[in-house]
Amino acid sequence: MGVPLRKSSLECEVARGRGLPHTWQAFRLGLLAVALSFVAACGGAPVIETSPAIPDVDRVYFLQPLSGFDRSLDAESRRQIEAAFNQLVLHRDSSEAHRVASELRRRDPELAPARVLEAQARLYDGDFRGAAGLVDSVRFEFPRYLAAGMVFARASELQGDLVEAYAEYERLSASVNVAFDRAVDLRPRALEAQAQRIEDARNRGRLDEAGEALERLQAWDPLSDRTLQLSFEVARDADDLPQQLRWIRELVALTPEDLELRSTWGDLEMRGGDPNMALEIFQNLTHDHPDDPYFADQFDRAKFIWRLRNLPPIVAETVAVRELTRADYAVLVYWLVPGVRAGGNPEAKIATDILDHPRRQEIMRVVNLDLMRLDGSLRVFRPEAPVTRVDALRTLLLALQRMSPPAACVAGATGGFVSWDSACRAGVTCGVLATTSDCLPSAPLAGREALEWIRLAVSF
């Protein structure tokens, strides 16, 4: 037998082994060498070659099975585990470890040290998946159980799961030197693998998985360009406007010269952030790039949206609605289309279903101006019915026609745009729609799109 250790076995394991074979083949070939035995001290003392053993370069991953276990264990079980572990690491014989672990687990299937011993034997045998699976729950139940964490980390690494290996090495890095070394070495590849997991989840439409994976990447590497970009993209996939604003601001701070990022930032501020900031962003972009029509148009949008601050809160609330009702659209037309609120006093029309409606004033005004119609037979407005895109477009075209002077794009039009085809074509002529295929006559209309239609119509 070798000379007794003058330091604890765990101290020696941590202090001496820092290397790593590049492949499992190298790991197994290394077992042919004559290596670790008990030594006089860890700090540079020679190895006494008494029997074939797991080399130092691999031995560091095999901590004594009770290392870090903070529960009581009967003396006989402890003795059997330690003896089987010595047989494994000193004589490269896993059979005793399998036997002892199996016997102890028959009595108590959840006995953590027995599971760790079995996992170490499987790790030695090359069953990396089995080894990791045995201790996966153990390391969570006993967070300070170093032996469990190290066998899980090493098994995960050898089966190619660099993310889980890095996570566990990093968790143990303050307590085990080799864990610190492996975490440093694996970090770049683990971060890239985690980023790829997020991309894969996004591509499969699994936003819950992407969000969970993103939380881990944010904890590991919160300020990198890649993390910030993925944070923004996941928020955009989820249509989470506050989070999009949070991350786009971080990205712009990181790369303020990126025009696309600044433009996206301004657009998000217009959608639901700070209208003053949006106005400033596009004012600066227009100033720096006076020949860019896109920035000029966005500046015009920002000015139009900034006006909402001086209108009743109901206007901004209606703009945020995903599918407008007829009453909602009447509110937007009343407050945003010039000449509607302050026009003449046309003949009053009575709609029997709006007498107690909270937006009665706005509805009656657009009805009396013949911008929105009542049901001819029942004299009802149907305020809670969805407004269709063609009805909303027709209302805008009629408002343009009733301006003084009428807008040029509709000045000569007759028939009140009754057919959806005539309304869609006039919408293109007036610059509200890019093409007639954007009309989608019977589809619903969102508040933000209605706001943009009104802006385009008014600016025409």
> Minimum mean pLDDT among 26-30, 120-124, 224-228: which range?
26-30
| pLDDT tops 50 at residue 459 | yes
User: How would DSSP label each residue in 244-275?
Assistant: HHHHHHHHHHH-TT-HHHHHHHHHHHHHHS-H
Q: DSSP letter at 291?
A: T
pLDDT band at 137 (very low <50, low <70, confident <90, very high): very high
How far from chain centre, in Å, is Cα 451?
29
Preceding amide of 405 cis, omega within 30: yes
Q: Are 439 and 424 in contact (CB under 8 A)?
A: yes
% of the chain at pLDDT higher than 90: 72
Confidence (pLDDT) at 349? 75
Q: DSSP letter at 71?
A: S
Q: Please give the CATH architecture assigned to the domain spanning 9-182.
A: Alpha Horseshoe (1.25)
99 token code pair: 């036997």
pLDDT in tens, 292-326: 999 999 999 999 999 888 899 999 999 999 999 99
- Specify the domain boundaries for CATH 1.25.40 within the chain: 9-182
Amino acid at 235: A
* This prediction's pTM: 0.72
State the Cα–Cα distance between residues 293 and 306, nearest whole angstrom.
Answer: 20
Residue 444: phi and psi, rounded to 5, are: -75, 170
Q: DSSP letter at 438?
A: G
pLDDT in tens, 73-106: 999 999 999 999 999 999 999 999 999 999 999 9
